[in-house]
């Protein structure tokens, strides 16, 4: 991977990000002063115990949630300045989501599930179907195109979800515990698919997991503890070599 | 884009058929009720309109006055104040199309073994024009018959049925008060008048014949009433004033004196009747519309439940790029489809019910395109109006909260 070319414009720049939830007991901090950069083409695994803020971090990265303070620049765009519809457009064209619970629409066929982002992108019906079939073929599930999600296995559902995440050719794929509901053999299969995306197409991948052997697929591992970046290291390198932004 | 959304909405509704059906039911009943009630109301209006039309249009009745004997006053039409000369003078007024002086009474008719008591009216040939009454067989009598005091008669349909059955009465001879009359023709059926009288139960004879041979008036040359047809509806007030002035002049009554005649505007009576049925049908429609509103509330209720149930689905859609208006449109389309299909079924049921009612009760019902169009418009409006709040609720969800919803 040619890191030098992409380094001039980082895909993601996060500066002094804070996030707290308002509860009856007062504001509850979830993220505390997080700062980091992710270059285009990276494969980042985010780890940490439950409640460490890694899921909230992912939701903010995915423009599903907004920070309480701090800056989040996605390819140079300040996301705090974008309207709800502009964020929706960003999620549609720029980001692909893979969730732990697959999150397929239960009453839509696999083909319709994969084609749904294209509907919101405004593509005509025939090109939606053509593109969705192409993606289903890529994850090897073409022959189940007319099935409902409930008729296929969990691993297959996750592959459909990946096909849906990729259908608009996103620059960034966010995977939140994508193997959390799968057995280890299937987990490996899914992880090879995700790693292949990064290796073959240069798609930036940010992956949240608490399983060490899943995180091992990442080229860079960030640890969250208590809403702060605890460590940030290139896989196989010594700790702290990449933790430049974490402690200014 | 819309086509894709329509397909989505359709499959969402298909996923829960019973609920979709129950949602529609309120609107089905509402639309059905509106269509049925409007059909019944329209039917009543049509009946009145037809009854008014059979009476003849733009009509006045001029009645002779009453007598006062020893302080006791008799009713209109009892004093012999109107003459044939009055009638002729009225006929020459520019605002009057025709005048028909009339003498009436009842008499016993005999034909072979059959006999029948009916109203026998002495009239002039212009009576048929004034009443807009056609013949279905034979000829009318003429001015010559009136001058000749001829014993000729025209029979109404009820009389023909009672006396002749299937036999052709034309050129037969009937006996009226034991005198022979030649049947010249048969009148077309008119049915009931708007006050419920059978207009076909009548016999017409020349006015002079009625006066001199049937009813033997002690005041020759007088009539009890006459029907006057104005040139047009607009000419009616003018005609009424002209008749009043003319008769006062002829009878030498000063403008402020008590008239010895009465002018009645028959169209005004009919208008009141028509007004009454119109109000009734509006009332029926209004009551039925209440059920449309109830149906709309039913839609809103179910759509709200549906939005809550599908919060997670909405979250997924937002995560993969649905904008606010995409979600809004999706739920609006769903309620619109439910409304339009419900309305369609309601129209079919309403028309079927109207036909059933007309068959079972012999009531006249009229289903108009206007009623159906109106029901459709209202249903679509109900769908959008009551679908908007739930749809907005869905569209205003925050992506992350919708996605986390269990």
pLDDT in tens, A95-129: 999 999 999 998 889 999 999 999 999 999 899 99
Measured CA to CA, the distance from residue A47 to residue A34 in angstroms comes to: 14
- Which pLDDT value is given to residue B69? 59
In whole angstroms, give the CA distance from residue B115 to residue B88. 36
In chain A, at which residue ranges do the beta strands (DSSP E only) sit?
12-23, 26-38, 43-47, 69-74, 77-78, 95-98, 172-176, 204-208, 220-225, 228-234
CB contact under 8 A, B1 and A128: no
A72 — pLDDT class (breaks 50, 70, 90): very high
Number of H helices, E strands in chain B: 13, 14
Among candidates A59, A116, A122 on the partner chain, residue whose Cβ is nearest the Cβ of B320: A116
Architecture per CATH, domain A3-234, reads as 3-Layer(aba) Sandwich (3.40)
Interface of A with B (CB under 8 A): 59, 62, 64-65, 84-85, 88-89, 91-93, 97, 103-105, 107-108, 116-117, 119-122, 125, 128, 164, 168
Q: Return the DSSP state at A169.
A: -
Check B319 against A85: CB less than 8 A apart. no
**Is B321 within 8 Å of A89 when comparing Cβ atoms?**
yes
Which pair of tokens denotes residue B205?
């004879």
Please identify among residues 221-260 of chain B the ones whose CB lies closer than 8 Å to any CB of chain A: none
More confident residue, A17 or B225: A17
- Mutating which of B11, B319, B399, B400 best tests the A interface, going by the most A Cβ atoms within 10 A? B319
Sort out which chain B residues have CB atoms less than 8 A from A86's CB and list them. Answer: none
- State which H helix or E strand residue B31 sits in: helix B17-55
B321 with A93: Cβ contact below 8 A: yes
Tell which residue, B53, B93, B107, has the closest CA to residue B263.
B93
At A65, phi and psi to the nearest 5?
A: -135, 160
Chain B positions touching A122 (Cβ under 8 A) are 1
CA distance to partner chain A, nearest, from residue B333 (Å): 16
Look at residue A217 and give its three-state secondary structure.
coil
DSSP character at residue B112: T
- Which chain A positions have a beta carbon within 8 Å of B312's beta carbon? 103
Dihedral (CA of A184, A189, A193, A196) sign: positive
What residue ranges do the domains of chain A occupy? 3-234
Return the residue of A nearest to B14 by Cα: A107
Instruction: Please report residues of B whose CB lies closer than 8 A to that of A84.
Output: 323-324
What per-residue string of b and e applies to B74-110 under the rule 16 or more CB within 10 Å gives b?
eebbebbbbbbebbebbbebebbbbbbbbbbeebebe
Q: Please state, in angstroms and rounded to a whole number, the distance separating the CA atoms of residues A120 and B333.
A: 16
Residues of chain A with Cβ-Cβ distance to B319 below 8 Å are 62, 64, 91, 97, 103
State the CB neighbour count (10 A cutoff) for residue B173.
12
Binary contact (B399, A119; C-beta < 8 A): no
A124 phi, psi to nearest 5 deg: -70, 160
The closest of B343, B72, B323 to A119, measured between CA atoms, is B323
Give pTM, 2 decimals: 0.70
Tens digit of each residue's pLDDT, chain B (406 residues): 677 777 777 777 777 788 888 888 888 988 898 888 888 888 888 877 777 777 777 888 888 876 555 666 666 556 678 888 888 888 888 888 889 888 888 888 888 888 888 989 889 888 888 888 888 888 898 888 888 888 999 999 898 888 888 888 889 899 988 889 999 999 988 877 766 778 889 999 998 888 888 887 667 778 888 889 888 888 888 898 899 889 888 888 888 878 888 888 877 777 777 788 888 888 888 888 888 888 888 888 888 998 998 899 999 999 999 999 999 998 998 888 888 889 899 999 999 999 998 888 877 888 888 888 888 888 888 888 889 999 999 999 999 999 988 7
* Contact in structure between A157 and A147 (CB atoms under 8 Å): no
pLDDT for residue A3: 46
Residue numbers in B near A108 (CB within 8 A): 8, 11
């Amino acid at each position: 991977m040619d890191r030098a070319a992409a380094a001039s414009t980082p895909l993601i720049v996060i500066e002094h990000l804070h996030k707290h939830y308002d509860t009856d007991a007062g504001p509850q901090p979830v993220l505390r002063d997080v700062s980091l950069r992710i270059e285009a083409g990276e494969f980042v695994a985010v780890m940490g115990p439950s409640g460490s803020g890694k899921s909230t971090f992912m939701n903010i990265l995915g423009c599903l949630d907004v920070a309480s303070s701090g800056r989040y620049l996605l390819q140079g765009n300040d996301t705090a300045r974008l309207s709800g519809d502009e964020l929706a457009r960003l999620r549609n064209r720029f980001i692909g989501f893979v969730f732990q619970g697959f999150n397929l629409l239960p009453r839509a066929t696999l083909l319709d599930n994969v084609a749904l982002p294209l509907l919101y992108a405004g593509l005509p019906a025939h090109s939606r179907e053509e593109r969705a079939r192409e993606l289903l073929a890529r994850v090897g599930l073409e022959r189940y195109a007319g099935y409902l999600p409930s008729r296929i296995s969990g691993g297959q559902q996750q592959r459909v979800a990946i096909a849906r995440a990729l259908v608009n050719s996103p620059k960034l794929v966010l995977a939140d515990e994508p193997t959390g509901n799968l057995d280890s053999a299937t987990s490996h299969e899914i992880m090879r698919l995700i790693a292949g995306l990064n290796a073959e197409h240069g798609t930036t991948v940010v992956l949240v997991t608490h399983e060490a052997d899943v995180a091992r697929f990442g080229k860079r591992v960030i640890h969250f503890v208590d809403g702060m970046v605890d460590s940030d290291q290139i896989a196989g390198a010594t700790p702290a070599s990449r933790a430049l932004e974490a402690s200014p | 884009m819309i086509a894709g959304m329509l397909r989505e909405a359709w499959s969402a509704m298909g996923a829960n058929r019973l609920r979709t059906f129950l949602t529609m039911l309120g609107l089905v009943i509402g639309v059905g009720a509106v269509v049925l009630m409007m059909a019944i109301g329209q039917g009543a209006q049509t009946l009145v309109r037809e009854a008014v039309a059979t009476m003849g249009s733009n009509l006045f009745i001029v009645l002779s006055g009453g007598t006062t004997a020893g302080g006791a006053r008799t009713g209109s039409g009892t004093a012999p104040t109107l003459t044939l000369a009055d009638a002729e003078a009225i006929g020459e007024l520019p605002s009057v199309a025709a005048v028909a002086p009339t003498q009436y009474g009842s008499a016993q008719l005999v034909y072979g073994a059959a006999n029948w008591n009916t109203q026998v009216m002495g009239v002039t040939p212009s009576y048929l024009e004034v009443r807009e009454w056609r013949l279905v067989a034979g000829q009318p009598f003429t001015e010559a018959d009136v001058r000749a005091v001829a014993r000729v008669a025209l029979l109404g349909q009820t009389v023909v049925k009672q006396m002749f059955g299937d036999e052709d009465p034309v050129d037969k001879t009937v006996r009226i008060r034991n005198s022979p009359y030649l049947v010249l023709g048969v009148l077309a059926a008119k049915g009931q008048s708007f006050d419920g009288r059978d207009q076909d139960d009548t016999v017409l004879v020349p006015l002079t014949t009625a006066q001199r041979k049937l009813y033997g008036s002690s005041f020759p040359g007088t009539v009890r009433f006459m029907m006057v047809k104005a040139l047009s509806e607009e000419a009616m007030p003018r005609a009424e004033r002209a008749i009043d002035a003319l008769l006062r002049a002829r009878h030498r009554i000063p403008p402020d004196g008590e008239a010895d005649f009465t002018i009645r505007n028959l169209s005004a009576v009919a208008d009141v009747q028509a007004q009454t049925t119109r109000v009734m049908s509006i009332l029926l429609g209004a009551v039925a519309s209440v059920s449309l509103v109830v149906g709309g509330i039913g839609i809103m209720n179910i759509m709200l439940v549906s939005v809550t149930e599908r919060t997670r689905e909405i979250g997924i859609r937002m995560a993969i790029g649905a904008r606010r208006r995409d979600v809004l449109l999706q739920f609006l389309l769903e309620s619109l489809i439910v409304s339009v299909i419900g309305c369609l079924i309601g129209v079919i049921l309403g028309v079927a019910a109207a036909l059933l009612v007309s068959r079972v009760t012999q009531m006249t019902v009229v289903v108009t395109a206007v009623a159906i169009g109106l029901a459709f418009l209202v249903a679509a409006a109900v769908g959008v109006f009551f679908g908007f709040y739930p749809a907005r609720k869905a569209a205003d969800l925050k992506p992350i909260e919708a996605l986390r919803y269990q």
